[in-house]
C-alpha cells in the first residue's frame, strides 16, 4: 500500500524529472530520471531497488552498477 506521503514524481532541476514506483509495502522500487526536454532517460539515473518479503533491501541497481545486500542474523549471547 502506497503511503499518502509518497512522492510520485520529483523535478530535481529545471532539466530533469524522476517518477517513483513503489511496491505494495510502500518501499521505493524504481526512480527513473529523464530529461524534461524530450524525455530522454538519464543513464546514471535509472535506480531500481529489490526487497525481500519482510522489507529488507536485497539489492539496488543504478543502470549497470548492482549492489547486493545480505541480512546477517543476530544470535543471542549465551
Q: What are 24-64's pLDDT values in tens digits?
A: 888 888 888 888 766 788 877 888 999 988 888 999 998 88
Nearest to 15 by CA among 48, 39, 31, 32: 39
pLDDT at 68: 94
Residue 70: C-alpha distances to residues 6, 25, 57, 63, 75 (Å): 26, 19, 8, 21, 16
Q: Which cell numbers hold the place of 9?
A: 514524481
Amino acid at each position: 500500500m502506497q503511503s499518502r506521503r509518497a512522492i510520485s514524481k520529483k523535478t530535481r532541476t529545471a532539466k530533469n524529472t524522476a517518477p517513483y514506483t513503489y511496491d505494495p509495502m510502500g518501499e521505493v522500487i524504481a526512480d527513473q530520471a529523464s530529461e524534461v526536454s524530450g524525455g530522454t532517460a538519464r543513464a546514471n539515473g535509472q535506480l531500481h531497488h529489490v526487497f525481500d518479503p519482510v522489507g529488507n533491501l536485497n539489492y539496488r541497481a543504478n543502470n549497470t552498477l548492482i549492489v547486493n545486500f545480505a541480512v546477517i542474523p543476530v544470535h543471542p549471547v549465551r
